[in-house]
Amino acid sequence: QIALSEPNNYSFPENFIFGVATASYQIEGGWNEGGRTESTWDYQLHKNPDLIVDKSNGDVACDSYHKWKEDVQLIKNLGVNFYRFSISWSRILPQGFKGSEINQEGVTYYNDLIDELVSKGIEPYVTIFHWDTPQALESQGGWLNESIIDDYTYYARVLFTLYGDRVKTWITFNEFHQICEEGYGLAKKAPFENLTGVADYQCGHQALLAHSRAYRIYEQEFKPIQGGNVGVVIDSVYGAPKTDSELDKNAAELQMQFDFGWFFNPIVYGNYPQVMIDRIDELSKREGYNTSRLPKFSDNEIETMKGSFDFLGLNHYTTNLCTLIGSNNFPNPSHARDCSVETSADPSWKPSAASWLWYVPWGMRDVLVWIKEHYNNPPVLITENGWATRGKRLNDTDRIEYIQNYLSEVLKAIYEDNCNVLGYTAWSLMDNFEWTRGYTEKFGLVHVDFNDPNRTRTPRQSYSFYQEIVRTRRLVNK
Ligand code: PNW
């Protein structure tokens, strides 16, 4: 018996679309097959298995490199409109860099997948980069080296050329925040660097420039012929004030600007949020740097960046409460100190199997409204949303309740707040390699048996539940 938090009789708008998502390193395996070379994730985990709680890696993962037809059948049976997956850069360009040779076996793998999707009436939504930088580029500094901008735009152009006749929805990057803050600031994602307050901002700068140039290449050279759209995915933990006080409201706003505005402000308005520029300038001076730790965009770059999106892809899972605390509570320098907000979870919130993920359905509506108000109601596609469980648990009523009530908040945002929401994507189609949590945390509508060489897939109850929502286009109170 799954109850709606409040009665909600809206049905999804006629053009609202539904999908499911995955990412290459998390599902494919086949790490050294078909001419693929190591990505930063392969390299790091082969070198040091201790980085992952269960010492696992993505060498085999869900074996989608071989089982992609079965995956497409599961997506077909689910009845969704689109499948959001990512392409492994080092499968297409084993040497990574600009001008390097295209690997035909890699090209064929995605051609087959895309053709199978299209033949079954499922639209391919392609994420160009979901964290698996070719190690050949990472070894030269990865996102800290500005030459990666040219490497990335070459790679993006190769994909537009190869697949753009069938792929009409492109996503340049998945979650700058995770790539840069976790990857180069806090050593929680590959390449596991910890230079927060410096390297995170440099990474963000190259990645934003790479995004905007790829957007313009598509707009100028491909869109007139292929007619597709290019968006970008940004993740947001919604920052809510801890209490009603003005101070806490300021803290929540600051948190949103430092985590979400850091990336979306440049893409909409051309530059970093003014509050970030000012605070980082000021702190850098106090810390004795002779220039700001936050890099600056040139006038040309600002023009290229401004408005470089056709839709915002929003990954939203959870909410944090925000309150201001003194900058001396944080390491010097650090992104956290630049923001100086303490975040926490309300003790009453239901925790998931993931330490960072609490059940807070109203945060979905609030984050959509916050985005509407700050960026002039842009088109938003929810590109990820999901719940973490442990073990096989086919009877995943907590995941069902999560999806039901988060979607209920999406409907309120659409009908009561006039937010421009295009569609919803469940993370994930199936259990997969959950980064440093290995195979211990499950996000799948479909269970995958990682002890079985065949990687047998078994749909959970949430799979049938989501199937029913997609079919009826409304929430059902079971
Ligand atoms: C996403 N947060 O990242 C990634 O895009 C997926 O690859 C990943 O499997 C999924 O989340 C589940 O972890 C995020 O703290 C991780 O809110 C954490 C947050 C946001 C996004």
Query: Is residue 235 in contact with ligand 1, taking CB distance under 6 Å?
Result: yes
* pLDDT at residue 432 is higher than 70: yes
Whether residue 130 is predicted with pLDDT greater than 80 in this model: the reply is yes
Question: pLDDT value at position 328?
Answer: 94
Query: What pLDDT is attached to residue 8?
Result: 80
Nearest CA to ligand 1 atom 7: 23
For residue 132, the CA-to-ligand 1 centroid distance in Å is 15
Ligand 1 atom with the shortest distance to the CA of 237: 17
* HEC secondary structure over the chain: CCCCCCCCCCECCCCCEEEEECCHHHHCCCCCCCCCCCEHHHHHHHHCHHHCCCCCCCCCCCCHHHHHHHHHHHHHHHCCCEEEEECCHHHHCCCCCCCCCCCHHHHHHHHHHHHHHHHCCCEEEEECCCCCCEHHHHCCCHHHCCHHHHHHHHHHHHHHHHHCCCCCEEEEEECHHHHHHHHHHCCCCCCCCCCCCCHHHHHHHHHHHHHHHHHHHHHHHHHHHHCCEEEEEEECCEEEECCCCHHHHHHHHHHHHHHHHHHHHHHHHCCCCHHHHHHHHHHHHHCCCCCCCCCCCCHHHHHHHCCCCCEEEEECCCEEEEEECCHHHCCCCCHHHHHCEEEECCCCCEECCCCCCEECCHHHHHHHHHHHHHCCCCCEEEEECCCCECCCCCCCHHHHHHHHHHHHHHHHHHHCCCCCEEEEEEECCECCCCHHHCCCCECCCEEECCCCCCCCEEECHHHHHHHHHHHHCECCCC
pLDDT tens per residue, range 278-324: 999 999 999 999 999 999 999 999 999 999 999 999 999 999 999 99
Does the Cβ of 253 fall within 6 Å of ligand 1?
A: no
- Of 175, 182, 193, 434, catalytic: 175
Q: Whose CA is nearest to atom 16 of ligand 1?
A: 178
State the average pLDDT over residues 243-250. Answer: 98
Ligand 1 closest atom vs CA 435: 9
pLDDT of residue 9: 85
Tens digits of per-residue pLDDT, 38-85?
999 999 999 999 999 999 999 999 999 999 999 999 999 999 999 999
pLDDT above 80 for 370:
yes
pLDDT in tens, 268-279: 999 999 999 999
175 is catalytic: yes
Q: What is the pLDDT of residues 223-240, one digit of tens each?
A: 999 999 999 999 999 999
Ligand 1 binding pocket includes 360 (Cβ within 6 Å) = no
The mean pLDDT value for 150-169 works out to 99
Confidence (pLDDT) at 1: 60
Per-residue confidence (pLDDT) for residue 478, from 0 to 100? 54
Mean pLDDT of all residues in 149-163: 99
127 pocket-lining for ligand 1 (C-beta < 6 Å)? no
- The answer on pLDDT for 36 being more than 60 is yes
- Give the distance (Å) from ligand 1 centre to CA of residue 90: 22
Ligand 1 pocket, residue 65 CB under 6 Å? no
Atom of ligand 1 nearest to the CA of 432: 9
Contact residues for 188 (Cβ-Cβ < 8 A; gap 6+): 182, 436
Write down the mean pLDDT value for the chain.
Answer: 98
Q: Is 434 in the pocket of ligand 1 (CB under 6 A)?
A: yes
